Amino acid sequence: MVTALARDVPLPHPPHRLPVLGDVVGVRVATPVQDSIRLARELGPIFERVVLGNRFVVVSGVDLVTDLNDETRFTKHLAPAVEGLRSIGGDGLFTAYSDEANWRKAHDLLRPAFTQAAMRTYHDIMVDVAGELLSYWRTRDRVDVSADMTKLTLETIGRTAFSYSFDSFTRAERHPFVGAMVRTLTHNQRRAVIKVPVVSDLWFRNRDRRNEEDKAFLAGVIDDIVRTRRDHGVGQENDLLDIMLTAARDADPNALDEVNIRHQILTFLIAGHETTSGALSFALYYLSRDPELWAQARAEIDEVWGGGPPAFEQVAKARLVRRILDEALRLWPTAPGYAREAMTDTMIGDGYRMRKGDWAMVLIPGLHRDPVWGENTDEFDPDRFLSAAVRARPAQAYKPFGTGERACIGRQFALHEAMIVLGTVLQNVDVRPDPSYRLRVEERLTLMPKGFEVKVSPRGR
């Protein structure tokens, strides 16, 4: 935490701080990110919150974030909510400490799986799953966008990374993996923050039992994935799972042990679909509410892709669609924060001193509403990502995938997949949103529109 300031001026904090409980007046347990966006507007680009004995320093100003993103002075810090997920993900890429050996080994081993050459091998699978979404929608008049995007992205990461199908569009209910995952993530994040002994014991008694059941179910899914691959033979699929199992078999210097392989599988299943499904859902929310923008994006897809599924090279040429996706991620970066820890005594901004080991949380939706983004930063405007506008902003103003060497390893995968899906929907489907719906954002590990439904029909020609 930031524990000292030049000029000995305390950090701003919400009013009505209570003994023991801290800054809980007006706090909603279900929406800490949205509460923090509001507080950033009221308190400024750096403030603190104390909740049940945990002190959080929240930073959103672009100048301060630029300092925190300096890789020579700062590294990733596991904030309490993320550290609480180590009981699920262990030393997987997302929850590993930067000095753990398995983080570097996994990063170096798996990085080739996310190169452009690797993207080409995933492209056809992504196109196929997008086609399955269309077929599914043809059987329905009204759809829950977030639920269906979750089905799509889980199916995509399952097939591309592990050659494993969750049968997302053939089963009557969503795969139980999703429910178990959401409950476990929510439980372990809250458990890590609510540490008052009597309160936590009473609050979590029954939830702890359900959490153990959910963790056992998730472990069973992972065991099934590994067992299926070994039954069919390692070294034949050339996917993420093959890379890990082949390295272990061949004594590669970066080989991962059996426990860590399972941690990586769970990490990619969770992170590989939660973030992208939210990004797609937010993009479709804003698109569906703007018929003129929808028509412009559709015309671009018709021109660039032609009448059928896109070739690999055509995907990135849909520049308006990419700007729409980027702007959705600006307003609602689905992974909404990351923490940075000082590696030595240092200073950020205009005199905020940090000692070695102090840490601060970057509030990405706050950063993405910094004044450098212009006026009306809560409004959706893809033109913010025209080339001239991008060049005029500080380089560190846009961070939907985190920063530095601990940034999301799968960001190119996510963007390519999301572009295919948005373009495929524009190309083939007409949507009509409920005019009375107002965006409600659900917060779990990631952000997601809640209750967002649209009527769907084949495209009118």
Q: How would you write 196-232 as a 3-class SS string?
A: CHHHHHHHHHHHHHHHHHHHHHHHHHHHHHHHHHHHH
In the DSSP assignment, the letter for residue 311 is: P
Instruction: For residues 52 and 58, give the distance between their C-alpha atoms in angstroms, rounded to a whole number.
Output: 16
Q: Left, alpha or beta for 333 (phi > 0: left; psi -120 to 50: alpha)?
A: beta
DSSP element (H, E) containing 66: helix 62-68
Please tell me which residue in 75, 95, 160, 275 is annotated as part of the active site. 275
CB atoms < 10 A from the CB of 5, how many? Answer: 15
Task: Spot the catalytic one: 162, 385, 401, 452.
Answer: 401
- 287 and 345 Cβ atoms separated by less than 8 Å: no
Is 401 known to be catalytic? yes
275 classed as catalytic: yes
The count of C-alpha atoms lying within 13 angstroms of the C-alpha of 21, restricted to the half-sphere facing its C-beta, is 10
Nearest in space to 178 (alpha carbons), one of 162, 190, 169, 166: 166
Residue 257: in which H helix or E strand, if any?
A: none
Nearest C-alpha neighbor of 419 from the set 311, 334, 337: 311
Q: Which of 75, 276, 408, 413 is catalytic?
A: 408
d(CA 304, CA 313): 10
Find out whether 9 and 44 touch, Cβ atoms under 8 Å. Answer: no
Q: Which residues form the catalytic set?
A: 275, 401, 408
